[in-house]
Structure 1
Amino acid sequence: MSFLTELTFRRVASAAPRISATTFAPRVASASFVHSRNLSSTAPQYKTVTEAAKDTLKSVDRAVSDKLVDGINIGSAVADKAKEAGSDLANKAQKAKSDLDSKAQSAKSDAASKAEQLKQGAQQKTHEAADKAQDAAQEVKKRT
């Protein structure tokens, strides 16, 4: 055996009686303190102040952008509904105008027919009155 091997065996042999059974027993963690070890092969990479600020600004920018997009979508929906309501209102106005035009035309034709009837009635009464006047004039001539 080499010198190093012999020296290592002596140290282990002399240390063996000092090792107790509780040394290798699993440790029970108390309920109030749980210690966990992270296994990592590299050292943690901490961010610089500028990187942390950039990340914060990116997250704020993303949140603001999301809210702006939501606002734009809502505005677009409102504009579409307003256009639709305007179109419906225009259609209703056109229909009401056409209804009023047809009623006005009907009233105009009714008024024209009534005027014609009254005109004919007046002419007839005028002729009758003229006939009566002639008859009366002839009777007066006969008497005289």
Structure 2
Amino acid sequence: MQRSTAARKAVTRFVLDASVVIKWLFPDRPEESDAFHALQILHLIKHSRLPVIQPPHWLAEVAAVTTRLEPKRASAAVSLLFTLEFPISSGMDLYLKACDLSDSLKQHLFDTLYHAVALTEPNTIFITADDQYYRKAASAGHIVRLKDFTLPSGSKS
């Protein structure tokens, strides 16, 4: 993992991009490379070893993708994801940071909202499987690609 200054501090929480969560639901799809890494993250979450905080729209975005890919599985998938009860980050600072990122990176606001959580919440890192977004946003910090993710020292293990 390329470590930013924030990653060297004790990281206490993680933000999971929809691109990571979708791999939990469709790990066998050829388009879902690094699904094994995503499933490892899910395992850590289930065993309370990886604390997560999400933006307000995360479940809606995953539901939209799931409904598009396999509509018959969408209700069950959303119900299961809802039971994870991830804490939600919200507030004016989050939205302002997401707007700034969207403008400066020329990326969709829904994508930058995930990253903005990591940038506005203390000791938080954004995990994404979206290489295109990562290339544009890496310089902002607090971001790691799914394929490069390792559980930092100082996290629950």
* TM-score interval, normalised by the smaller of the two chains: under 0.3
Structure 2 length as normaliser, TM-score? Answer: 0.16
Of Structure 1 and Structure 2, the greater strand share is in: 2
Structure showing greater Rg: 1
After TM superposition, the score normalised by the length of structure 1 is: 0.17
Larger helix percent: 1
